[in-house]
Every structure is written in structure tokens, then in C-alpha cells.
Amino acid sequence: MRIFVVDAFTDQPFRGNPAGVCLLEEAADERWMQLVAAEMRHSETAFVRPLESGGHELRWFTPAVEVRLCGHATLATAHVLFTEGIADPDESAEFHTKSGVLTVKSTARGLEMDFPAVPAARMEEPPGGLAAGLGVEPEWVACNAQNDVLAVVADAETVRDLEPDLALLGTIDARGVCVTAPAADADPEDFVSRFFAPAVGIEEDPVTGSAHCMLAPYWAKRLGRTSLTGRQVSAREGVVGVTLREDRVILSGRAVTLLRGDLLV
């Protein structure tokens, strides 16, 4: 079967967030998919197969666990289906996932994904070990239904300079910790972020589409605009466009195929 590596949320190779994309012809054993994801060692590997009823089933695995929602691997999967002639780029690709039906369409601005908004609610008591794990005291802390912690800090420089204690962050009862701040005045983006998820086998995710389903409602409310641009300032960096539409978020970005191959087992 065919397998790909795609750099998502970027128009340049070796930037953005790499994802594995495995094209299945029929349903696969869950244990086998987990082993493939562990072998690929990307933050997520997507497994996609056509459904008789139309559309595709899509599942995502980190090297350690299956996750319910993943933005960059969805973007990567749609990119593969469109560029390999498996799906018509003039029509939306429809994915049936554990987070419901997700659609992706190709536009002049790149790929646009229709995802559920997952706003975060303020926590009265931040998780123990959060400030020590980040090495900075957040100004505001919240958590969402995906069990992601949102930590807001003062400025973009603080986000870029973080050197977290990943072992300590891994003890927090959360899928991941997203740290965010306003972009610098000279930057074209509106906000910056980084995402750490050692508890699910990802020390730092380079660009996290699903986290922007939480970032979009926060920054839309704070900045008074529904269309924004975020830059995830990991070492690889990537740009994610977000548009908040009631309880949905339109995530937009580009992708580059880096590798095509055959999976032999």
C-alpha cells in the first residue's frame, strides 16, 4: 500500500508539520496502525480509506496513542487525495472521523478545512506543575473539551524563548499544553503559539491545527475579529489561517509532498 510524508501548513519542504499519510483499501487492525505510526515517528500518521457510502474514513495516531482530532494530518491527507488524483480538487473531500464529519476544499489560498470550534474555559486553579514546567507564570489558563490546556503569556518573545521541562509537563492530566501570546507589532500574523504534548508521545508539535480550534475563539474574542492568522513558532514554524463561524473554525494552509513510497508489511 502507498504511504506519503507531507509537510503541512507550509509551502516549503522541511518546514511546517510533517505527517504520514497511509492509503488503505480496507479497514486495518488498530494495533497495526499504531505500530506503523510508531515506526513513522511523526507527531501523527493518518490512515484513510474509501467508504462505500461515499467519502473516506480517517483516523490519526501519534507514535503512542490514537487521537480524536488532528488538523495538520487532515490537511496532509486532503493534499495527497487531491494531488494524486484520488479526489476531485473541484469538490470537497469528506472525512468521517471520531470528531464527526470534516470537509476540506481546495482554494486559491490553499486548502480550507471545516473543523469544530473547541473553546477553552478559564480554570480557577491552573494544573499543578504548569508554571514550573513552562518556566514562566501564565497570565491566564484555560482548558477545553479536548483536554488541552491553554496558557496565555505576555508576548511573542516569551513564547519563542520557552525551554520547558517536558518531563514535568508530561505529568499534567492533559492531552497537551498550548502557549500563546499576541504577535509582535511588526509581524503580519495576529498571534503566536507553541504546543507541547509529552503525555501522548509528542514533545513539541511543530504546527497544530486542532489547537487552532481552541485558539480561534480565544483570539477572535480578544481582538474583536473573526478572521485571523496564527504562526506556530516551533523550530520548523508554520502559518495557520483561522476564520470563526459560530461553532465552526475554518483552518487554512498549504502543504508539500516530501516522500512517496510503498509500505511492505
**Which among 56, 62, 57, 76 has a CA at the least distance from the CA of 33?**
62
Task: Give burial (CB, 10 Å; 0-12/13-18/19+) of 1.
Answer: middle
> In the chain, what is the straight-line distance between the N-terminal and C-terminal CA atoms, in Å?
9
Residue matched to cell numbers 480554570: 123
Dihedrals phi, psi of 138, to nearest 5 degrees: -65, 150
Scored b (16 or more CB within 10 A) or e, 114-132 reads: bbebbbbeeeeebbeebee
Residue matched to cell numbers 506519503: 4
**Which among 125, 136, 129 has a CA at the least distance from the CA of 160?**
136
Q: What DSSP designation does 138 have?
A: -
Which residue among the candidates 39, 44, 112, 139 is catalytic per the annotation? 44
AA letter at 156: A
Residue 137 designated active-site: no
Please count the CA atoms within 13 angstroms of the CA of 227 that sit on its side-chain side: 1
Task: Give burial (CB, 10 Å; 0-12/13-18/19+) of 66.
Answer: middle
AA letter at 144: N
> Which positions are annotated as active-site residues?
44
